[in-house]
Amino acid sequence: MQMAQLDVLNLVRGIQTEGEYMDFRNMLARYFADKAQKQIDALWEKGTINERTIEQWGNERMRTPYRYAVHRS
């Protein structure tokens, strides 16, 4: 995937205005949102997820339990 990274860097190098930057950013966001939606649709069609699953996800508390470490010098 190194070639893909170089291609993206070359594209970004050509961005000259804030508007072009926002267009590029939105294009990437749409691309990844579409990919995620296709995967979700596939899971729905297989019956892996359903309305109940999505409701359960909405009610989950997925916070990371943090432990505060005591730092000693």
> Is pLDDT at 72 greater than 60 in this prediction?
no
Q: Which residue has the higher pLDDT, 44 or 69?
A: 44
SS3 content of the chain, % helix, strand, coil (to 5): 70, 0, 30
Identify the pLDDT of residue 13: 94
Identify the pLDDT of residue 61: 85
Instruction: Of 65, 40, 63, give the one whose Cα is nearest residue 53.
Output: 40
C-beta separation of 60 from 51 below 8 A: no
Q: Domain coordinates of the chain in residue numbers?
A: 2-56
0.85 exceeded by pTM? no
Q: What is the pLDDT of residues 17-51, one digit of tens each?
A: 999 999 999 999 999 999 999 999 999 999 999 99
The pLDDT-based confidence of 67 (bands split at 50, 70, 90) is confident
